[in-house]
Amino acid sequence: MKDKKDHREKPARDHAMIELRHVDKWFGEFRVLKDVSLTVKRGEKVVVCGPSGSGKSTMIRCINRLEEHQKGQILVEGIELTGDVRKIEAIRREVGMVFQQFNLFPHLTVLENLTLAPIWVRHMPKREAEDLARHYLARVRIPEQADKYPGQLSGGQQQRVAIARSLCMRPQIMLFDEPTSALDPEMIKEVLDVMTELAEEGMTMVCVTHEMGFAQRVADQMVFMDRGEIVEMAPPAEFFAAPKSERTRLFLSQILRG
C-alpha cells in the first residue's frame, strides 16, 4: 500500500484517467490493434464505434487487462498496466465493466451477485454490502428482484443488474462492451436510460456501442475504429456532421440507415 505512490507516473495531461500510448496487440499472426493511442479525462464519456472485428472490444478489454497488449503503454489513473498482479487487481477495483452477454453468476441470487465483490474485495460487512446493493438496485429500478436468480430475469433486467453489480464497487471508470447488442429492441431503452443517468452524474465512461442516439446525447468524444486502428476521433457534433474519413462516412451511412 505504501509503495503505491511509486507506481504512479505523473499524469501526462490534466486528470487523464485512461491513457493508451501506441498500443499494439496480436492474436497469433493477426494484428488486432495497430498503434492505438487514446486519452480519456476525468468525467469524460467516450463512445467507440466501428464495424465488427475492428478491435474496439479488444481495446477496451485491454484497459482492465482482460486482454494483454504486447507493445506500447496503458495507464489507468497513472498506474501502468504490466504483468504485476497487484496492480492489475488494483485497477480492476477502480474500473467497472459491463459485458454484452451480461455474465451474471447464475448460481447466485441477484443480491449475492451484487455483494460478492464488495464483501470479498472491499471487505465490507455483509449488512452494509446488502444495503449498498439494494441502493443500486433501486437506482437501476429493479429493487424488487433482489432475491431472484439471474435466469429468472429478462435480458434488460439482467443487464441492469450487471450495471448495478459494477457500481457496487464504486468505480472511477465504467467500461461498456456492447451492452445492448444482446437485447431485444424493447429492452434497449431501459438499459440506455440507466447509462444516460450515469453519464449525467459525471461518471467517466468508455462505451463500445452502435446506439448512435445515445452517443449523440452523452458522448464528449466519438472514436471510430476499423481494422485495428483509430481512424477518426472527434466531438459528436463534428463526427456526425462532417466525418473526415471516407471509411467513417461509409460506416455511418450504413448504421444510420439501418
Partner 1 sequence: MNASSTRRGSAWWNDERSRELLFQALIIGVVIAVLAYLGHNATVNLRRQGIVGGFGFLSHEAGFEISPALIPYTPADSYADAMLVGLLNTLLVAAIGIVFATALGLIVGLLRLSGNWLVARLALGYVELMRNTPLVLQLFVWWNLLRISAPGPRAAWQVLPGVFVSNRGVAFPVPEYDPGFRWVLAALLVAILASAALARWAGRRQARTGRPFPVLSAALALIVLLPTVVFVALGAPFHLDIPQLGAFNFKGGVTVTPEFAALVFGLVVYTAAFIGEIVRGGIQAVSRGQSEAALALGLKRRHVLRLVVLPQAVRTMIPPLTNEYLNLAKNSTLAVAIGFADYFSVANTILNQTGQAIEAMTLIAAVYLSLSLGLSLLMNLYNRRVALVER
According to the binding rule CB under 8 A, does residue 182 interact with partner 1? no
205: how many CB neighbours lie within 10 A of its CB? 22
Question: Shortest gap between Cβ of 115 and partner 1 (angstroms)?
Answer: 10
Residue 92 grid coordinates:
480492476
Residue 175 grid coordinates:
467500461
Residues facing 30 on adjacent strands: 27
According to the binding rule CB under 8 A, does residue 92 interact with partner 1? yes
Nearer to partner 1, 56 or 165 (CB): 165
Pick from 209, 154, 200, 203: nearest CA to 179: 209
Nearer to partner 1, 153 or 234 (CB): 153
- Count Cα atoms within 13 angstroms, Cβ side, for 28: 0
Binding residue count for partner 1, defined by CB under 8 A: 39
Candidates 32, 117, 191, 205: give the one binding partner 1 (CB under 8 A): 117
CB 214 within 8 A of CB 192: yes
According to the binding rule CB under 8 A, does residue 37 interact with partner 1? no
Candidates 41, 122, 189, 227: give the one binding partner 1 (CB under 8 A): 122
Residues that bind partner 1 (CB under 8 A): 64, 66, 85, 89-90, 92-93, 95-97, 99, 101, 103-107, 116-117, 119-129, 148-149, 151-153, 162, 165-166, 169
